[in-house]
Amino acid sequence: MRRSSAALIGGAVAALVIAGAAAAGPIGRGTPDPWRATTTAAGRHAQSPFGRSVLADGVVSPAEYAEATNLVITCAKGRGAVLTAEQRYGLLIFSSTGQDYSAALDACETGDLATVRQLYEARYKDPRKEGDQVYLRCLSQVGLLTGGSAAPAEPLSATLDRLMSAAAPAATLGLVDRCLYDPAGRTWQ
């Protein structure tokens, strides 16, 4: 069982809505991290020692992300689900080798575990907190949006619906998948 691209973008969009307005400029030495305040605020609302510990410093590290992922897998195992973490464009997705364990995943990837994973994934996908623009720019870079503009007249959700239609070629779906998981191109450029 893999989460659909629409579900992935939905999670990213939800995290972005919670996060607030976009910040400009690349993240580098001396540049403030636009995600730090969001992550620190989430830490103030954390319900578990794990959540408070991970979120307190304002950054979710790759190791903390992996630990949250492993805790979800352990929880799911306790519910009879066999999940594994699979690398996809630098992120960890849950795989169940063809079985539908969505109920167990929904029950286990909640609270602080969900928050930690969502914040890490949102920052990984959109480090400058640009919102939909980061996805639109990627879709343009891979040639799926034409006309010289990375800002089509339609909303991102409509663009994705159009690109991921039942008639879409597999190559197009692969490019959309790439842009949803790694719009900054860390693993494929």
pLDDT band at 28 (very low <50, low <70, confident <90, very high): low
Compute the distance between CA of residue 117 and CA of residue 184 in angstroms, rounded to an integer: 18
pLDDT band at 94 (very low <50, low <70, confident <90, very high): very high
Compute the distance between CA of residue 9 and CA of residue 17 in angstroms, rounded to an integer: 12
Q: Is the pLDDT of residue 21 over 70?
A: no
Task: Give the mean pLDDT of the chain.
Answer: 85
Compute the distance between CA of residue 22 and CA of residue 85 in angstroms, rounded to an integer: 30
Taking a C-beta distance cutoff of 8 angstroms, is the pair 181, 125 a contact?
Answer: yes
Average pLDDT over residues 6-27: 37
Q: What is the pTM of this model?
A: 0.80
Compute the distance between CA of residue 95 and CA of residue 92 in angstroms, rounded to an integer: 9
pLDDT for 8 equals 41
Which of the pair, 22 or 1, is modelled with greater confidence? 1
Which residue type is seen at 53?
Answer: S
Average pLDDT over residues 81-108: 95
pLDDT for 152 equals 58
pLDDT band at 189 (very low <50, low <70, confident <90, very high): confident
Lowest mean pLDDT among 15-24, 81-90, 174-183: 15-24
pLDDT band at 10 (very low <50, low <70, confident <90, very high): very low
Burial of 168 from C-beta contacts in 10 A (0-12 / 13-18 / 19+): middle
Compute the distance between CA of residue 46 and CA of residue 54 in angstroms, rounded to an integer: 9
Burial of 22 from C-beta contacts in 10 A (0-12 / 13-18 / 19+): middle
Sequence-distant (6+) residues with CB within 8 A of 121 are 11, 12, 15, 65, 91
